[in-house]
């Protein structure tokens, strides 16, 4: 009899522990991002966006009554370090993995998360990332296969350019963008007057800009990381190149504008996310971010913020914290602002983990991003 009571007591203790784990224990989320190195701007904005969202959600009681606990690890903008950090993070059995932001780092870490059956919500934009059949990988922004055709169309329809110099950074992100945009230019009959590969972390762009001048294109398409964007914009101004400069988020982001100063004026680009978007929820996010961190975030701040709200909306849709069912639920899910205001814009995730929502065409005018066109959600 005594053994039965003892067994009963043990079971009760174990069950209550399990119940605590189910209801009261924090939800562990791991973030691996570029907190130092060439992508420090990307990683730190991403991290700050995550922390802001976590703070907001925890202040309101968490997700399904459980607080969120995020760990941050530095990939040092190095794919090898990112892989080691992701492995370490996965060993801690997180609910969801966030990051990295660099496509090259996502490429080498995605198989690890998929093998562990953990959903990875990342910031990489290389087209190939979501085309490899990985069912656990989700974007927080458009992939190049969505954004580049829009840029090429703008170059053709609005700028009426017949020849374009393409400057790209020689990594997975840059190569992916270069391949898609040159294909689009070829399709539209636009000549690639110069095809210039640059290096991540490159400091001196004098030779590259001299080559652009020699090629005399109608426009220059620039697809390099933020700091390098600032450096090349300064060199372009220094060497007196006056043709339109067009790019993507990495050419017209807040950090680029801050670093390049006057040289950023006139640069145009397609951005999936911008704090200057004419969307009230985004303006409110911007105010909250500035209040907390005392600077205006670039798109990576928005991406990090949205990643956490993607976790919240998906978990609430499931009604339980289940990392194995998470990816299945997020595939095909539409998160509306009417249900989750902090998702900022209605968003739909397809079966590849790609995203569909509004996009924007912006121009830097007197040190500020000005939205010139709002591109609607496709579906």
Residues that bind other proteins (CB under 8 A): 35-37, 40-41, 44, 170, 196-199, 201-204, 206-208, 210-211, 213-214, 227, 230-231, 234-235, 237-240, 255, 258-262
Beta carbon of residue 277, minimum distance to other proteins (angstroms, whole number): 23
- Closer to other proteins by Cβ: residue 239 or 334: 239
| HEC letters along 116-176 | HCCEEEECCCCHHHHHCCCCCEEECCCCHHHHHHHHHHHHHHCCCCCEEEEEEECCHHHHH
Residue 138 is encoded by which pair of tokens? 């989700």
* ∠ Cα 265 266 271 (to 5°): 100
β-sheet bridge partners, residue 97:
30, 120
| Angle, in degrees to the nearest 10, between helices 79-91 and 103-116 | 30
Beta carbon of residue 29, minimum distance to other proteins (angstroms, whole number): 22
- Closer to other proteins by Cβ: residue 301 or 353: 301
- Closer to other proteins by Cβ: residue 36 or 329: 36
Beta carbon of residue 169, minimum distance to other proteins (angstroms, whole number): 10
- Closer to other proteins by Cβ: residue 35 or 343: 35
Note whether 190 and 155 are within 8 A (CB).
yes
Beta carbon of residue 210, minimum distance to other proteins (angstroms, whole number): 5
Q: In whole angstroms, what is the distance from residue 15 CA to residue 9 CA?
A: 10
- Closer to other proteins by Cβ: residue 178 or 231: 231
Beta carbon of residue 37, minimum distance to other proteins (angstroms, whole number): 7
DSSP 294-352: SS---HHHHHHHHHHHHHHHHHHHHTS--HHHHHHHHTT-EE-TTT-GGG-S-EEE-TT
- Closer to other proteins by Cβ: residue 234 or 268: 234
Strand order in the sheet with 268-271: 191-198, 163-169, 219-223, 245-247, 268-271, 359-365, 368-375
Q: In whole angstroms, what is the distance from residue 325 CA to residue 315 CA?
A: 9
| Count of all residues that appear for the chain in the document | 379
- Closer to other proteins by Cβ: residue 39 or 269: 39
Q: DSSP 3-state helix, strand, coil percentages of the chain (rounded to 5)?
A: 50, 20, 30
Beta carbon of residue 300, minimum distance to other proteins (angstroms, whole number): 11
Q: In whole angstroms, what is the distance from residue 316 CA to residue 64 CA?
A: 7
- Closer to other proteins by Cβ: residue 75 or 130: 75
Beta carbon of residue 39, minimum distance to other proteins (angstroms, whole number): 10
- Closer to other proteins by Cβ: residue 35 or 330: 35
Beta carbon of residue 96, minimum distance to other proteins (angstroms, whole number): 25
What 3-state class would DSSP assign to 21?
A: helix
Q: In whole angstroms, what is the distance from residue 375 CA to residue 184 CA?
A: 18
Beta carbon of residue 369, minimum distance to other proteins (angstroms, whole number): 17
- Closer to other proteins by Cβ: residue 41 or 146: 41
Beta carbon of residue 7, minimum distance to other proteins (angstroms, whole number): 54
| Angle, in degrees to the nearest 10, between helices 206-215 and 226-238 | 60
């Amino acid at each position: 009899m005594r053994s039965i009571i003892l067994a009963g007591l043990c079971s009760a203790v174990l069950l209550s522990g399990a119940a605590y784990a189910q209801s009261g224990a924090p939800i562990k989320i791991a973030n691996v991002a570029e907190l130092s190195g060439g992508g420090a701007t990307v990683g730190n904005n991403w991290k700050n966006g995550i922390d802001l969202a976590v703070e907001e959600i925890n202040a309101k009681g968490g997700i399904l009554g459980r607080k969120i606990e995020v760990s941050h690890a530095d990939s040092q903008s190095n794919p090898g370090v990112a892989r080691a950090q992701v492995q370490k993070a996965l060993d801690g059995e997180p609910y969801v993995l966030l990051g990295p932001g660099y496509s090259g780092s996502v490429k080498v870490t995605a198989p690890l998360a998929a093998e562990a059956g953990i959903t990875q919500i990342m910031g990489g934009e290389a087209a190939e990332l979501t085309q490899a059949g990985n069912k656990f990988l989700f974007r927080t922004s458009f992939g190049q296969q969505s954004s580049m055709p829009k840029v090429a169309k703008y170059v053709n329809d609005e700028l009426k350019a017949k020849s374009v110099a393409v400057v790209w950074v020689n990594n997975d992100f840059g190569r992916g963008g270069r391949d898609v945009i040159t294909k689009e230019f070829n399709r539209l009959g636009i000549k690639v007057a110069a095809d210039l590969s640059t290096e991540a972390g490159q400091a001196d762009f004098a030779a590259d800009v001299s080559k652009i001048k020699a090629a005399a294109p109608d426009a220059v398409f620039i697809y390099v990381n933020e700091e390098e964007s600032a450096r090349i914009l300064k060199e372009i101004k220094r060497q007196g190149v006056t043709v339109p400069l067009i790019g993507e988020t990495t050419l017209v982001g807040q950090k680029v504008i801050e670093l390049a100063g006057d040289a950023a004026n006139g640069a145009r680009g397609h951005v999936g996310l911008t704090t200057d978007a004419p969307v009230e929820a985004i303006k409110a996010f911007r105010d909250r971010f500035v209040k907390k961190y005392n600077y205006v975030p670039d798109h990576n701040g928005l991406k990090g913020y949205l990643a956490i709200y993607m976790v919240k909306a998906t978990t609430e849709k499931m009604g339980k914290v289940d990392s194995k069912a998470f990816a299945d639920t997020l595939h095909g899910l539409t998160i509306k602002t009417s249900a989750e205001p902090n998702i900022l814009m209605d968003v739909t995730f397809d079966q590849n983990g790609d995203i569909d929502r509004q996009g924007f065409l912006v121009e830097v005018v007197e040190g500020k991003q000005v939205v010139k066109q709002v591109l609607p959600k496709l579906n």
